[in-house]
Structures are given as C-alpha cells and as structure tokens.
Chains A and B, each alone.
Chain A
C-alpha cells in the first residue's frame, strides 16, 4: 500500500457521504431527539400523547385527510382524460398541447396561487361566487389548480409508453372500446396513476401556502400545524412540532416503502421539464 491514495472515481463519494450525513441524516435525527424529549431535554412521550389528546389536532388530521382525498380524486378525474387524449394525438399536436399544460408550472407557486385568489375575488365581485364563506371550496380549487399539471404528466408518460399492439390485440380479440379501456389501458396505466397520487397527496396535506392564501385562515392542514408550533416559540412547542413531523415522516416513508417509490427515479416533481 502506497501512502498516497491513488484517485479513483468512487472516492468522490466520500465528500458526498459527509454532506448527506450532516445535512440530510443529522437533521432527521434531531427531529427524533426533539420529538422524544421535553424542553429540559428529559426523555418523554408527552409530545405524542398531548398531540392525540387534543381534539383540535384530530380535527386538523381529519380536514387534511378530506382535503387530500378530494383534491387527489378531482385531479385524477380531470387529468386522466387529458393525458389519454394527449397520448392519442399526433406527435406535433401532442408536443404543443403538452407544453401548454406544463407552462403554468413555471410561474412562481405563491404568485400562481395568489392569481387564483384574485380570480375568485373577481368572480365574487360579479356575484357568481362567495370567497368569504366558501373557504374550503376556495382551497380545493386552488389545490386542483396548482397540482393538476403534476397529475397529467406521470399519467401521460405511462400512457404514451403503452404498446399500441396490446390495444389492437384487445380489439382483435373482440373487446369493444369500453372493455379495452377498462381491461387493458386502465390497468396498464396504473403505475402512472399511483405516481400521480403520491405527487398530490403529500403536498395537499403539508403545503400550507394554498390553504393560507385561499382558506381565509380557517383551513388548517398538518403542515400548518407544524409551522404554528415553530412560530409560537414556547419552550415545548418545538418538541411538539417535531413529534407531529415524526408522525408525518412515519406515514411518508411507510407509503414510499410500500409503493416501492425509493427504487425508481422520482424526477417528476420538477415536472420532467428539462
């Protein structure tokens, strides 16, 4: 063994591993530590029992769940036909339309949400909408508006890859177009649907910008609950906030492991734009 190590490409993994340890793993360890200790650093389970014993927190869980399921369902119902029509259009038309559907994603997320607020206020002014009272509907509309492009893309990506021969075979074997869709196309596009669901479900429960902007501060989701704990700044609130985050983490990684998301590339959050 020479004293000077000869450079090899895998050595580049060493500084990278250090970065991951300090800025990805260590912060998560801190959440775990905070979640299981009180303000004096004494180990405790109180952060968890407190969380579940407050009915207002359970209400937040319920609202988040309803909001997430509703938004995801509406997004899928709108997005699937869009992706389906796009996938069956001619190549040139397809690329133009696809671009049109992706383009809004590039506008700043907060400004985009604010634009929806302005539109709803304008509709309110015309007397066809009620911004102040329909705060839950506002939030659902805002979420569908913001996440729709993220639902279209994964479904489209899967649909475009389906072998045309499989569809033809199904037709040749006597299935009508409804049967072909239900028994061939839909099952084959399942991976796209699952990926679309995971893209929408998590932000709808945690990304509180939309519910804050459109919900007239009456819609509190889990993400907002965590943010509140860190803004109150009492001695215990950071520990409570960490406990809620840990519960959330548990769900996130549970779902990810179940859906095998870890093994594939999840590069669609940026929209697969580049």
Chain B
C-alpha cells in the first residue's frame, strides 16, 4: 500500500514538472497583466484580443498550418511510393534504399538544415516558399517510409497476385489491393509528418525566405532574441489555445477509438 502511494506520488511529481510551465501560461493568459509574476486584479480576454489583432502572429499560424498540411501531403505520396518501390526491390537494393532513407532521421537537424541551405545557394535558388516546402518534405518523408514499410511486411503477398490473376493491370492492382491494405501505415505516416513539420524550427530557419514566419520562428525571435518583445503576452494566449486544441483532439480520438471498439464488440 505504501509502495503504491509512493509510486503514484512519484508519477504525479514528474507530471507536475511537465505541466507546470504550460498551466502557468494558461492561467496567465486570462489575466490582464502582461508580465508573468505580477497579477492584475482583472481577469479577462485582453491577451486573446491582442493575439487575434496581431496580423504577424496570425500570419505565422496560417503559414505553419498550410506548410504542415502541404509538406505532409507531398511527403506521404513520396514516402509511400518510396516504401513500395524499395520493398519490392532486390534485398541489396532494399538495404541501400533503407540506409539512405534513415539519414535525415539520424542526422542532426542543423546539419540537414545547412546542407539544404548550401543546395539553395549552390543552385542560386533563392529561399522561397518552395525551398521551405521542399525542406519540410526532406524532414518528414523518412517517417512516412518507416510507417508504411511494416504494413507492407504484414501484407499477404498473394492478394496482389490474386488481383493480377483476376485480370487487373499491375497499376490497378496496386491501387485497389496494395494501397487499401497499407492505408493505416500511410495515415499514421501523414499524421507523424504533420506533427514533425509543426514542431520544426532549425530547418525552417535555414530554408525560409525572410518574409515568411512560422509559429516556431516567430516565437524563437520573440523569446530568444529579444526578451522585451511586446508580442510575448499574445504568444501566451496562443500557447493556451494550442494546449486546448491538443487536449480536445486527444479526447476526441480516444472517445472515437473507444466507440469503434465497443461497436466491434457489439457486432460480434
């Protein structure tokens, strides 16, 4: 019993450490004070008003979301094509493909970032939205490949052959047999790509044009370069909103997962 209490206490202490900073921001986001540590008597939404009238932050949010969605979409197609291509190659070719695919995963982000910056300058390719998009594809596609490969391994190879025997062209069999079969892997690869893109700072910083900011680069400039930045209070409100969105989506995902489990059990 004592052991049990000790264990729970330990877990909760660590959880407090992990959540204290964010909870503090959430609490302060409803206070009129723009400085943490000093309470204002007023509790209101003034910081949220600041956030929603700050066109630079709003633009950064829009850029971040669009970049995450578009780069994840491209990565998902590229990663799926790559995973299928390499999986059905000779074992030796597969190994080479697999090793090269792992490079951006194991490499330090700063090295990937400067290597892409070098490519831009070498090809006299100005840093544009295009270079930024491409960099995020390089950042995320290996994770799509590593999500799709296990599904290809689990797949019954006879299904595709059966499709061919029943008269489907290889292309048709690919789209009607293989792709639906590995869809869970493709979907989780897509979600993973989105989360990685949303989180990135270093690669973004080295490949973006100076006119574009994402949440990461904007927050970095506000907090790391200039602690007296006037948009910091508005970023508190943004952190609170992001935290709320995460909690809501996690709860929603879990509820729907529970429901499908129950439905499956009910239909048995």
State whether B110 touches A20 (Cβ < 8 A): no
23 A-B pairs (CB sep. < 8 Å)? A9-B178, A24-B101, A25-B103, A30-B119, A31-B118, A100-B15, A101-B14, A103-B250, A104-B22, A107-B22, A118-B36, A205-B108, A206-B109, A207-B109, A207-B202, A227-B202, A230-B117, A230-B206, A242-B118, A269-B196, A270-B143, A270-B196, A274-B188
State whether A104 touches B101 (Cβ < 8 A): no
Query: For the complex, is B150 an interface residue (Cβ under 8 Å from A)?
Result: yes
Query: For the complex, is A213 an interface residue (Cβ under 8 Å from B)?
Result: yes
Can you add 17 more A-B contacts, CB < 8 Å, to A125-B36, A245-B111? A7-B171, A13-B85, A16-B78, A17-B97, A19-B78, A19-B82, A20-B82, A24-B100, A106-B195, A110-B220, A206-B109, A208-B110, A209-B224, A212-B224, A226-B114, A227-B202, A252-B111
Given the known inter-chain contacts A23-B134, A110-B223, please indicate yes or no for A273 contacting B147, CB distance below 8 A: no
State whether B106 touches A16 (Cβ < 8 A): no
Residue-by-residue, is A1-36 near B (CB-CB < 8 Å gives 1, otherwise 0)?
000001111111111110110011111101100100
Question: What 3 A-B pairs have minimum CB-CB distances, sorted nearest first?
Answer: A13-B85, A125-B37, A12-B85
Contact of A245 among B114, B141, B201 (CB under 8 A): B114
Query: For the complex, is B174 an interface residue (Cβ under 8 Å from A)?
Result: yes
Contact of A27 among B22, B88, B102, B116 (CB under 8 A): B116
> How close is B159's CB to chain A, nearest CB, in angstroms?
13
Contact of B107 among A121, A226, A249, A271 (CB under 8 A): A249
A177, B57: Cα distance in complex, Å? 55
Interface residue stretch chosen among B43-51, B240-248, B259-267: B240-248
> Residues of B within 8 Å of A, CB-based: how many?
95
A230, B24: Cα distance in complex, Å? 36
Interface residue stretch chosen among A49-57, A77-85, A159-167, A181-189: A77-85
> How close is A21's CB to chain B, nearest CB, in angstroms?
8
Chain A residues at the B interface, C-beta cutoff of 8 Å: 6-17, 19-20, 23-28, 30-31, 34, 78, 81-82, 85-86, 97, 99-101, 103-104, 106-119, 121-122, 124-126, 145, 148-149, 202-203, 205-209, 212-213, 223, 226-227, 230, 238, 241-242, 245, 248-249, 252-253, 256, 261-262, 265-267, 269-271, 273-274
A262, B178: Cα distance in complex, Å? 26
State whether A252 touches B82 (Cβ < 8 A): no
> How close is A105's CB to chain B, nearest CB, in angstroms?
8
B174 closest partner in A (C-beta): A9
Which B residues are CB-close (under 8 A) to A205? 108
> How close is A213's CB to chain B, nearest CB, in angstroms?
4
Which A residues are CB-close (under 8 A) to B215? 108, 110-111
A203, B112: Cα distance in complex, Å? 13
Query: For the complex, is B73 an interface residue (Cβ under 8 Å from A)?
Result: no
Which B residues are CB-close (under 8 A) to A104? 18-19, 22
A25, B138: Cα distance in complex, Å? 11
Query: For the complex, is B58 an interface residue (Cβ under 8 Å from A)?
Result: no
Chain B residues at the A interface, C-beta cutoff of 8 Å: 7, 10-11, 14-15, 17-22, 24-25, 28, 36-38, 78, 81-82, 84-89, 93, 97-112, 114-119, 122, 134, 137-138, 141, 143, 146-147, 149-150, 160, 169-171, 174, 178, 187-188, 191-192, 195-196, 198-202, 206, 215-216, 219-220, 222-225, 235-236, 238-239, 242-243, 246-247, 250, 254
Given the known inter-chain contacts A30-B119, A109-B199, A206-B109, please indicate yes or no for A122 contacting B170, CB distance below 8 A: no
Given the known inter-chain contacts A13-B93, A230-B114, please indicate yes or no for A266 contacting B105, CB distance below 8 A: yes
State whether A145 touches B246 (Cβ < 8 A): no
Which B residues are CB-close (under 8 A) to A99? 250, 254
Which A residues are CB-close (under 8 A) to B224? 209, 212-213
Given the known inter-chain contacts A118-B24, A252-B106, A265-B146, please indicate yes or no for A270 contacting B195, CB distance below 8 A: yes
> How close is B50's CB to chain A, nearest CB, in angstroms?
16
A97, B11: Cα distance in complex, Å? 9
